[in-house]
Structure 1
């Protein structure tokens, strides 16, 4: 479909898709996960991060060129508190693991529902994540500060030379223009950190914009950004 794109995310480091709370006695910060235990990143969060990256790039432009790309951005992401006519034409689904994998596991869990050694959401979550712990160090004594130990669950990074595991589907109310795709493309490439702790070494990612068939289109529209071109 012309009104659909994909955003693929490869985890280059362990990542916490934080949900803002933890589990008492286990972790201080839990990852967002579904009822089967599969971690995911909320589409609303992803859209906000993309919008921020695009804003950071547009602000570097000047004059009429900047105004043009602000208009493109507002059409794509919408304007906060705006009227219906100025709302975003783009909607982003949650970034999830492959649908086939989730379906197969869900079916298996249903089959084993009454068994003693059944597959549980905790099993799934533990197979895809691990728990990292860190503490604050006192600069004077060189020892850890009392009560500073914190734990966070992280989604384990992707292995080298493998395809991205997480995909978010992008839907549009109307066919996106070449300029919209160009802005999305540069924003996607600029998005290199996700989740909680991204300023402390976690959440390093590599993102790519793809068509609805999964073909990478990052380079197809990049040359348009920062210019004003008339669509033929």
Structure 2
């Protein structure tokens, strides 16, 4: 099939937490590569998206296509018993900065123009948080420092599959992508708000197909009413 791309724009600061800390620096570090570029692991992003797609399917109680939507979720994202059919499911890359932007910055690193720490500082900040008691007073000993990824950055996830996707599958996927609003850690504290769109690559051009397939799904839903 033609390559799909999910574009993720950070509307707020976000934390793609690694679960690790750096003594004397941050209590929660993000995931980053050897050059200092932050990213979200493919497995983590896939789990976030699958959860949202399942919510979309739950809303669509009627079946305009005459098919079992839950079955299509498993066809797209797989199940524990996939076995030899694993090639038929979607394969996700890490959620990372545009490869062309990274290429330029990696070239600069290798030629001594910038270093890994400078890359990290340009893309992230460190924020301080503490716990508040019922009277609105900060609790002693609860101050924590978390690294956050700056808002406004755009990340891409490349999606491939060993077969052609049906229109119903693209419609479900587009609806799930569009309704994915938060990813990462500390969502309840305003972190990780995003806007996501689904693209298809045709030659040197990326075409946004999100609305096209959501509208197609809605038209079929209306027909079934």
Same fold (TM over 0.5): yes
In the other structure, the counterpart of 1:24 is: 23
Distance 2:110 2:151 in 1: 28
SS in 1 for 2:146: strand
Deviations 1:161-190 (A, max 9, x none): xxx621111011111111111011000011
**CA-atom RMSD in angstroms:** 2.0
Distance 2:6 2:184 in 1: 16
Cα distance change on mapping 1:44 and 1:167 into 2, 3 Å: same
In the other structure, the counterpart of 1:161 is: none
Task: Give the superposition deviation at 1:3.
Answer: 2.9
Larger proportion of helix: 2
Are 1:217 and 2:212 counterparts?
no
Cα distance change on mapping 1:215 and 1:169 into 2, 3 Å: same
Deviates further, 210-219 or 86-95: 86-95
In the other structure, the counterpart of 1:170 is: 159
In the other structure, the counterpart of 1:83 is: 83
In the other structure, the counterpart of 2:150 is: 156
Deviates further, 191-200 or 74-83: 74-83
Cα distance change on mapping 1:225 and 1:79 into 2, 3 Å: farther
Distance 1:138 1:124 in 2: 37
Quick check: 1:79–1:88 contact (8 Å CA) kept in 2?
Answer: no
In the other structure, the counterpart of 1:115 is: none
SS in 1 for 2:72: helix
1:91-130 to structure 2, matched below 5 A, reads 91-112=91-112, 119-130=114-125
Deviations 1:30-65 (A, max 9, x none): 111111101111111111111100111212333655
Distance 1:105 1:225 in 2: 41
Quick check: 2:2–2:200 contact (8 Å CA) kept in 1?
Answer: no
TM-score (norm 2): 0.88
Distance 1:101 1:9 in 2: 15
List runs of 5+ in structure 1 lacking aligned partners: 113-117, 159-163
Task: Give the superposition deviation at 1:154.
Answer: 0.6
Larger proportion of strand: 2
In the other structure, the counterpart of 1:4 is: 3
Cα distance change on mapping 1:151 and 1:123 into 2, 3 Å: same
Count of residues in Structure 1 that have an aligned counterpart in Structure 2: 216
